Every structure is written in C-alpha cells, then in structure tokens.
Structure 1
Amino acid sequence: MKGLTHIVSQVTEWIWGLPMILLLLGGGIFLSVRLGFFQIRYLPHILNQTFGKMFSKSSKPGSVTPFQAATSALASTIGAANMVGVPVAIAMGGPGAVFWMWVVALISMATKYSEVVLGVKYRQKNEDGEWVGGPMYYIDKGLGWKPIAWLFAFGLMLEIAASMMVQSNSIATLVQSTFHIPVWITGALVMLLVGLVTYGGIKRIGQITEKLVPLMVSIYLIAALIVLVFNAREIPYAFELIFVHAFTPISAAGGFIGAGVAAAIRWGLARGIYSNEAGMGTAPIAHATAQTDHPAKQGFWGIFEVIVDTLIVCTMTALVVLTSGVWKDVKSEEASSMVSQALGEVIGSSLAGLILSLVLFLFVLSTVVVIVYYGEKQAEYLFGSTFAKVMRFIYICAILVGAVGGLQFIWQFLDLLLALIVVPNIIAVLFLNKEVRDVTKDYFLNVYKRNESVEQKDGPMRKVH
C-alpha cells in the first residue's frame, strides 16, 4: 500500500504542477482572445448585471435565482485555501506573486464564464422537473463524446466521496482543537445539518447559501479590515511591494528566504488558477439551475465568482499578510499561520483563533453542502434519480466516517481523481469555444445593444417629463 501511495503521490504532484498550470492558463488565454477580452471591455456592464442585481427576483426558467446559483458555486470555491494558499504563495514567491495572481484571475474569468454559458445552454429538466446541467451534459450533447462525459461524471462522483471525508475531518479536528469537542460529535452534527439541507434539493441549498456565503465572507473581510485599519500606513508600501517585485527579485529578510521573478510568476499563477476553480467543471452544475433567459447573463455570474474569490477575498488576505509584516517574520513552512498571527497582533491570539475557526467552520460546512449536490447530480446522470438518492445517503454517511479519520487511504486518490475531471472538462470547453463565442456575440448584439438603445431613447423623454 505504501508503494502504491508513493506512486499516486508522485503522479499527482507532476500533473498538478506545470502540466495543469499550462493547460488551465493556456485555455484561459485562448478563450480570452477568442472572446475579444470581453471580461475587461465590458466589465462595468458585467458588474452592473451581477453586483447590481444580487437580490433581484426572477420569473425566468430555472430552479433558483441567479444569485443563489452563484453563491452555491462560491460555497464550494471559497475556503481555507483563501486563507492559507495566498500566504504560502507570498512565502515562496514573494509579494510579486500577488500581481500574477491578479493577472490569472482576469484570464480565468473567460474560462469560468465559458463553463457557465455551456452549462446553461445544454441544461435539461430531470424526472422531478428540476433543471440540471454541467460538463457531463455539454460534453455529451455538445460534442457527442458520451464515454468522456461518463468518465467525467464517474470521476467526479468518486472524487466527491473522498473530498467529503477530507472536508469533514478538517472541520472535526478544527472544532476539537478550538473547543475540545470530540470529532465524532462534530461529525454527527455536521451530518445532520447537511442532511437537512441537501434533502431539500437545490432550492433549499440556494436559500441557505445566499445567506451563508455573504455572512462568512463578511466576517472574514471585517477581520481583515481590522488588521488593515491598524496597519493603514503600510497599505501603500504593500502595493509597492506587489507591483515592483512582480518584475524584480526580492532579497531575503527575517524568516523570508527571498524570491526571484520566476518564483513570483510560478506561485502567483498557481494560486490564481486554483483559488477560483475556473476550469474545474463544478461551477456549471450549480449555475445550470439558475433562472435565466440567456446563457451569457448567467455566465456573468461566473465572472462574479472570480472577482469575489480571487480579486476580493484573496487580495484582502495578501494585504493582511503584507501590511502586518508577518510574511518576513514567519518561516515558509509555517506560512499557513500568517493570517492568524497578523490578526492576533491586533485583537489577541485567543479571539483571533476563535474568529478564524468560526470562518473556517462556515467555509467547510458550505462546501460540504454543495458538493453533496454535485456528486448526486453525477449519479443521476449516470444511473438515474433513484441511484442519486442512494449516493446522497452514502455521501452524508461519509461525513461521519471522515470526521473520525476513517478510510484515509482513499484520501490519497483525491488529487488524482480531480485531475481526471479537470482535463476532459477544459478540453471540452476549448472544443466548444465557437458555441461560447456565438452566445456571447448574440448577447452583446441583441440584448446589450437593444437595451442600450432603449435607454438612449428614454433618456430625453425622462428629461422632458
């Protein structure tokens, strides 16, 4: 078993290194060029259609509101990686890594948008009258690659089981270390909560995530703002570090070992690519349930995800680490504790630990709720709605198994299974680029331009009256 584990570890480490970065980054660049960098050209309009309409009601076809679909997707995206991954990138690549993280975020917007557009375009109603969609449907219906669609769905169905156990174990051990509650009690409580939510289907999940995601993000951002207010004088210097050392090396200082430009680019690209999960294929499953009359409209919510996850939450983490100075004092192998230390210097380590533990608990809980739904939809695509309900029960039971540390050998295959779903998804999205371009062109020619001309005609009338 040790030999097998070692081989799996070596293979996954190689796949998730340069090959995956090149695939996801290259795919994002290709799609950005193909779509004319619309995510930058029309950014004000995109912001108006998302941030400006977060709480708007809709009567269009779909199961949940566009915002509920976006928060469901965000629930599985925002997590501990936002608090841990960014400090690690800074520790290994220096402050300049943050700049390259931003660059990748702008490129990844095209990938996430394309996934969501295809998810909505090829969605269909299931036996219960609910809208379902995702990579398995656009790979199957859009390209006719049914075996590849089946491979994606089967791989994700298994990956969710492993991920469920890892997530529940992290939340149980966190609660045990912070509140001294036995892991089995936390596992049972989380299992009950997740069961109550997921048995209500995507509508109940959407109702929960539209409240939970803004709450947990707000708590974290408030904690980060406390640090930034305390270190306000250092904010201009932090931005100077980011922009200057994106293109010039930075020397060692304190616990920081120094970093060259190549390291800044590598770690910035990796963090930017993996933080918002663009190209991973999970977000379209949630967005396919949205109430919308045009795929491009929901695609904008995919861009909204990238903005919130990478450009807002990850950036706030970076500024906390840089303005507090902990990035120079903490050794790279202890980088995951940087946010906790920075907040602890302002409000005390005990209160900082309590706040961050609460945030992490909410991050993981929201993730578990949504990925149960993702796994269930793969089972439904493969074997029908009855088997999907069986898999939901298995996933919920896996929460308790993972909480107590059971079946750990399965966890070793998590990254390998994830690669098996990412590769076919991003390749399918690239092959379907013409479909995405046509949808985008239709929106900006027939919806955006029409609305713009109506506003111009109505403008003088409003002035007269």
Structure 2
Amino acid sequence: MLKTIVSYNDMINAFIWGVPSMICIMGVGIWLTLNTRFIQFRKFGYTLKHTFGAMFDKKEAGDGALTSFQSVCTALAGTVGTGNIAGVAGAIALGGPGAVFWMWLSALLGMCTKFAEVTLAVHFRERNDHGDWVGGPMYYIKNGLSKKWSWLAILYSTFGVLTVFGTGNATQVNTITTAIDSALTSTGAFKHGLPSGVNLGIGIAITLLVLVILIGGIKRIGRVAEKLVPFMALYYIIFGLLVVILNYKNVPGVFRDIFEGAFAPRAITGGVVGSMFIAMRRGVSRGIFSNEAGLGTGSIAHSSAEVDHPVQQGLWGIFEVFADTIVICTITALVILCSGVKINYGKTAGAELTISGFTATFGGWVSVMLAVALCCFAFSTILGWGLYGSRCIEFLLGKGAIKPFVVAYSLVAIVGATMDLGLIWNIADTFNGLMVIPNLIAVLLLSGTVIRLTKDYFSKEKSAK
C-alpha cells in the first residue's frame, strides 16, 4: 500500500516539478530581475548595509506589528530549517553534486522573486480583527487584483493549509528524531536506534512547546525567533566552515564536480544520475523548499514588519534568500562533498548524510552538537510555518478557526515523529509545487506595482541624499 502511494505521488511530482514548472519559476525570476534592472546584484551592497548592517538596531514595534529584524527572523525561522540540512543532502543524493549549481541559480533569481513577494505583501497588507498586520499572497491577490481573481487567493490559502502539516511540521519532526537517533547511535548510547516510545515522547514534547508559543500569537513567535534564529545559524555556520577548512584540499575538486555535474551528472555519479534535468529538478525544488522564493510564504511573516516603505522590507527578502541558500545551503553541500563521505547516488538521503560529513571530519562526538543545531533548525521552521498556516486558515474561515488549527497543527508533531522520511519529503514537494502556481501568477500580474514601488523608493532615497 505504501509503495503504491509513493509511486503515485512520484508521478504527481514528476508533473508538478516538470518542464513547465521549471520554466515558470526561473522565467518569473528572470522577468523580475530584468525589470528591476538586476536589483539583487545592483543594490546588493545597499541591501547588506540596510539589513545585516542594521540588524541589531534597537527599535520597538507598535501593536500588532514586529520590528524588521523580528519579521525576518520569523521568516528565516520558516526557511532556515531541515531544507538546509536534510533537503540539501537529498538533492545531492538524488541529483548529484550538480544539483547544488541549480540550487544556486534558482536562489540568485529567487532573491528578486522574494524581494517582489515581500514588497507586495507589505504594500497590500491589512489589519485583522485583532489589530495585527496580515499579508501575503492571498492578500496581495485580494487587494491588488480584481475580484475575478479571488478564486486564486482561496486556492493559495487552501494549498497553504494543506502544505504546513507536511512541509512545516511532519518533515521537521522527522528530521529531529533522525538527528537524535544518529547522535545517540554514534555515541553508543543506543546500538539499534531509538525505541519507538522515545520517538513518541519527542513528538509529544514538541507538540506542547509549539502549542504554547503559537497560542501566544505573532508577538511571542517574533520574540522566540529573534533569539533562536541568529544563534542557530551562527552555530551551524562555524562548525560547517571548520569542516571545509580542515578539508581544504578537496575544495577545488568539489567545485569542479558541482559545475561539471550540473550539465553532465553521469560523469560524476557513475551513471546513477544520468540526466541534467534530474539534477536541475532536484536542485531547484530543494532550493525552493529551503528559501521559499516562489512560494510566497515568507512574505506572510514580513508583512507584519513596521516599516515606512514596502521596498524597505523587500530588501530583507533579498537578504533572506542569500543567507538561507547561498550561505547556509552551500555550507551543507560543502560539508557533504568535502568530507569525502560515501554518497549512495539515486537513493533517498536526509540529515544522516549531512551528519556523517561532520563526523567523518570531527569524530562521533560532534553528532551531539549537530543534533542540537538540527533540533533548533527544525523547531524554528515548525513555528514559522505554524504562523503561515494560521494566516491561511484565518483568510479562509476567519479568526475563529485559528485556535482549532493551531491545536491540530501541533498534534501533527506526534505523527511526524514516526512517519517514513521518503514519503514525507515526496508529499511536501507536491504541496510546495502546488503553492507556487497561484503565487507566481499573482506576482507576475503585479510585477508592474513592484517596479513602480522600487523606482519610488530609490528616487526618494536619492532626493534625501
């Protein structure tokens, strides 16, 4: 029965992530890049100065809003997760080292796509019944397009509600249990993996923590995210860079494999991965799963930011994709490929492959440290996607549906602790692909607004100088 479900889901994924999707995702990114005159490159220095450079400026947000830093941390809580660790490992195993190249390319274009999504989300946001700022694809469809497009907003929100249970929760909890299992097994605490009762206990503990935080609303989520995200990102980056430095002799060969494998994966994988399109599909889909450029979900968190101009927050969208994929995903890829750990190409892989890259360099003790990082990554993602799901269900059914949703969402952690990783990732890919469609249609139709707002913002900046 399970094999049949996997088989059918693979067929659906092959269609959703087929040539048309690749053309749409990359095409919209190229269109926005050209029409904003390569803003992600042209204004990259400006972006870093006004995002990373101003990250720790002390500022308080008003009622129903977050500071720009809290908003980006909440968005990064959703993006910087198991997609950066387990997702990258899966992309390399199924698409070869060349998948990393396509992940980079999709991220470079995705920086502009995310910029457009965030700018639109802030521009077309509104206050809900609680006085909170709410926005995202469903709101820029509702408030930016005519009423005849209202079905698109409903479609996006419906896919969003369905997606968060798998992408935002089940896959994350599954990775947490895998990380803990690998850590304890490598240290000799358990020779044959975690007992099923331990997995259940982990699921229950996560359920309770998620419930307490999400019930507290956007302010509580923002406060947790601004403390957790910087810590976990820096923690992981330092350990990853140490692996690369200690294996520096392998770095040139790894980059050669990445670029060669992007166009001729057969030569690198021994023929197991023989198609450039497979490498492209795995790289792009895992890249989007990680940085969410094209999904529009991150813009839901960004729409809560207290800013003077939509483009001001849109710049954080560029920074977010850069930090998530160009920095953190690349470090994961280099850890796996530089460490020389064996990769079973053509077979599903997850966090355990990334962990093996670290342990091959440092020894078994580091698996405990990595388990901590993985748990932080995954838990932050659960919180971020819990917010996305809450906003989607609120848009569909009103504020009365939020608490029942939060309870149901929290309980999924118990299920995710015992499910099969391969099936979870496959289903997550399916719903991610479905969310892309209505969002990219809206972003493309509203691209003129993005261009106008961008010109307005930088003309005011020029005048002020």
TM-score (ref. length: structure 1): 0.86
**Count of aligned positions:** 446
How far apart, CA to CA, are the structure 2 residues paired with 1:237 and 1:418? 33
2:221 to 205, 213, 216: 205
1:382 to 396, 417, 441: 396
Say whether the 8 Å CA contact 1:77–1:275 is kept in structure 2.
Answer: yes
- 1:60-81 deviation digits (Å, cap 9, x = unpaired): 7661111111111111112222
Structure 1's 411 and 232: CA in aligned 2 closer, same or farther, altered over 3 A? closer
Partner of 2:190: none
Instruction: Give 2:67's aligned amino acid.
Output: T
* Farther off after superposition, 126-135 or 164-173: 164-173
Compute the RMSD of aligned alpha carbons: 3.0
Partner of 1:391, secondary structure, is helix
- 1:6-53 deviation digits (Å, cap 9, x = unpaired): 544422332123332222111111111111111111110011011101
Structure 1's 109 and 197: CA in aligned 2 closer, same or farther, altered over 3 A? same
Partner of 2:302: 287
- Which ranges in structure 1 are unaligned for 5 or more consecutive residues? 454-465
How far apart, CA to CA, are the structure 2 residues paired with 1:238 and 1:34? 35
How far apart, CA to CA, are the structure 1 residues paired with 2:315 and 2:152? 27
- 1:232-286 deviation digits (Å, cap 9, x = unpaired): 2333444455456656777357x78576766655554444444311011211110
How far apart, CA to CA, are the structure 1 residues paired with 2:95 and 2:180? 32
Partner of 1:330: 343
Partner of 1:74: 76
Q: Structure 2 matches for 1:7-406, cutoff 5 A?
A: 7-58=8-59, 63-91=65-93, 94-144=96-146, 145-163=149-167, 164-172=169-177, 174-175=179-180, 178-179=183-184, 180=194, 182-243=198-259, 251-252=267-268, 265=280, 267-326=282-341, 329-332=342-345, 333=347, 336=350, 337-348=352-363, 350-405=364-419
Instruction: Give 1:207's aligned amino acid.
Output: R
- 1:86-133 deviation digits (Å, cap 9, x = unpaired): 344445555444334323221111111111011101111111111111
**Deviation of 1:230 (Å):** 1.3
How far apart, CA to CA, are the structure 2 residues paired with 1:79 and 1:362? 8
Say whether the 8 Å CA contact 2:289–2:429 is kept in structure 1.
Answer: no
Say whether the 8 Å CA contact 2:118–2:310 is kept in structure 1.
Answer: yes
How far apart, CA to CA, are the structure 2 residues paired with 1:248 and 1:154? 39
Say whether the 8 Å CA contact 2:125–2:139 is kept in structure 1.
Answer: yes
Structure 1's 248 and 373: CA in aligned 2 closer, same or farther, altered over 3 A? closer
How far apart, CA to CA, are the structure 2 residues paired with 1:343 and 1:173? 15
Partner of 2:459: 445
Structure 1's 409 and 306: CA in aligned 2 closer, same or farther, altered over 3 A? closer
Say whether the 8 Å CA contact 2:162–2:431 is kept in structure 1.
Answer: yes
Say whether the 8 Å CA contact 1:60–1:292 is kept in structure 2.
Answer: no
Partner of 1:63, secondary structure, is coil
- Which ranges in structure 2 are unaligned for 5 or more consecutive residues? 185-193
- 1:273-300 deviation digits (Å, cap 9, x = unpaired): 4431101121111000011111101011
**Deviation of 1:409 (Å):** 9.8
Partner of 1:422: 436
Matched, 1:431 2:445: yes
Partner of 2:83, secondary structure, is helix
**Deviation of 1:405 (Å):** 4.8
* Farther off after superposition, 229-238 or 303-312: 229-238
Partner of 2:51, secondary structure, is helix
Say whether the 8 Å CA contact 2:82–2:172 is kept in structure 1.
Answer: no
How far apart, CA to CA, are the structure 2 residues paired with 1:135 and 1:409? 28
Structure 1's 244 and 187: CA in aligned 2 closer, same or farther, altered over 3 A? closer
Instruction: Give 1:386's aligned amino acid.
Output: G
Say whether the 8 Å CA contact 1:279–1:426 is kept in structure 2.
Answer: yes
Structure 1's 24 and 231: CA in aligned 2 closer, same or farther, altered over 3 A? same
How far apart, CA to CA, are the structure 1 residues paired with 2:180 and 2:248? 33
How far apart, CA to CA, are the structure 1 residues paired with 2:107 and 2:434? 23
**Deviation of 1:413 (Å):** 5.4
How far apart, CA to CA, are the structure 1 residues paired with 2:35 and 2:337? 36
How far apart, CA to CA, are the structure 2 residues paired with 1:338 and 1:4? 25
Structure 1's 244 and 153: CA in aligned 2 closer, same or farther, altered over 3 A? closer
**Deviation of 1:324 (Å):** 2.3
**Deviation of 1:445 (Å):** 0.8
How far apart, CA to CA, are the structure 2 residues paired with 1:94 and 1:365? 28
Identity %: 41
How far apart, CA to CA, are the structure 1 residues paired with 2:275 and 2:404? 51
- 1:393-442 deviation digits (Å, cap 9, x = unpaired): 22223333443559x99997554443332210111110000011111111
